[in-house]
Amino acid sequence: MVEGMAEIVVLGSANMDLVVRQPRLPEPGETMFGSSFATVPGGKGLNQAIAAARVGGGVAFLGAVGGDAFGRELREALAAAGVDVDAVALVERPTGTAHIAVLDGGENAIVVVPDANGVELPLDEVQRAAIRAARYLVVQFERPLPLVAEAVAFARSVGVTTVVTPAPALPLPEDFLENVDVLVPNAGEARELAGVDDETDAARALSRRAGTVVMTRGARGALVARGGEVVAEVPPFAVTPVDTTGAGDTFTGVLVARLAAGDTEPAALRAASVAAALATTRPGASPSMPTWSEVRPLL
C-alpha cells in the first residue's frame, strides 16, 4: 500500500435503487398496490465500498455515474461513508438504476438498468495507479466484463489480491478464474458458473481454478473451499430479516476490510457473516450496513 492511497480499491457499479415494498410479485398483465417506495444508494460496487468503509477500511471507488441528481447523490453517499470518490467517472449517460421489489419476508427481486455503469471505458492510468497502490482489488459483474477482466489481470500482475463477486453470474472470459485470489459467489452463482447442480460440488470445482472460494448461503452461513476441497464452514448468525438487499455485498466488503485490518481468515469471515446478517434487519442496501462498533460486540 502507498501512503495517501486507499488499501482497498472497489471497481464496480453504482445504482440508485428504486425500492417498492409489496406483498408478492405481480403476474404479467396484473396491476397491484405496493405499501411504500424509497430511493436508496445501491449497486453492488457502491455497496461493497460502503460496507468496507463502515467497518474501518480505507477504500477508493472506481465507478461511473451520469451528471444527474442520482449521480450526485451516489457520490455524496460514498463520500459520507469515507470512500475516496476522486476517480469516479462522469459520463454522458444517465446514472444506473436498480428496480427492486422487496417482498414480505425480506426476499427481493431486482432488475438493473446499467446506463452509466455500462459505458465501455478502458482501464485508465488513474485507475491503474489506484490499483497498483492498493492491497486488494474488489470487483463484481455490473460493469462491462472486459473492463473487469482487465482490472483483475492488471491487479494480479502487480501483486494486488483480487476479490471477485461474480454477480450477476455471466459466462466468464477464458482464464479469468486463474487471476482470482478470492471468489465470493452465492450458491446460485456458484452452480451457474461451475455448471453443476450441487452447490458444494460447485464450490469445490471453482476452487480448483480460483485461489479460495467463499460461497455465501444466506441463512445457512458460508462455506470455504480451496484446491478442490471444502476447508471450513462459517455458521450463520441468526436474525429475523426485513430486507436482504445488499447482504452479500456487505459480506464481501466486510470480509476484505477485516482481512486488510489484519484479522485471521476465520475472524474476518465471522465478522462478515455477522455484518451481513445485521444488514438484513434494516431496510435498503447501503443504509443498512453496520459500523464496526455495531459488529464487534457480537463477535
- We find the least distance from the C-beta atom of residue 286 to ligand RIB, in angstroms, to be 7
Q: Which is nearer to ligand RIB, 160 or 163 (CB)?
A: 163
The least distance separating ligand RIB from the CB of residue 47, rounded to whole angstroms, comes to 5
- Which residues are at the interface with ligand RIB (CB under 6 A)? 13, 15, 17, 42-44, 47, 98, 110, 112, 142, 245-246, 248-249, 285
Closest distance between ligand RIB and the C-beta of residue 29, in Å?
Answer: 26
Q: Cα(77)–Cα(46) distance, rounded to whole angstroms?
A: 9
Q: Which three cell numbers stand for residue 206?
A: 471453482
The minimum distance between CB 111 and ligand RIB, in angstroms, equals 9
249: annotated active-site residue: yes
Pairing, β 229-234 against β 222-226? antiparallel
* Smallest gap from residue 130 Cβ to ligand RIB (A): 22
> What are the DSSP calls for 243-271, one per residue?
--TTHHHHHHHHHHHHHHTT--HHHHHHH
Spell out the alpha helix ranges (H) of the chain: 44-54, 69-80, 125-133, 145-157, 187-194, 199-207, 247-260, 265-279, 292-295
What lies within 8 Å, CB to CB, of 45 at 6+ separation is: 10, 11, 12, 13, 14, 61, 63, 139, 140, 142, 143
Query: Closest CB to ligand RIB belongs to which residue?
Result: 42
Q: How does strand 108-113 pair with strand 64-66?
A: unpaired
Residue 51 vs 91, nearer CB to ligand RIB: 51
Which is the catalytic residue, given 84, 115, 243, 249? 249
Nearer to ligand RIB, 44 or 209 (CB): 44
Cell, residue 157? 500482475
Give Cβ neighbours of residue 4 (< 8 Å, ≥ 6 apart): none
- With respect to ligand RIB, which residue has the nearer C-beta, 136 or 251? 251
Closer CB to ligand RIB, 165 or 205, in the complex? 165
- Residues marked active site are found at 249
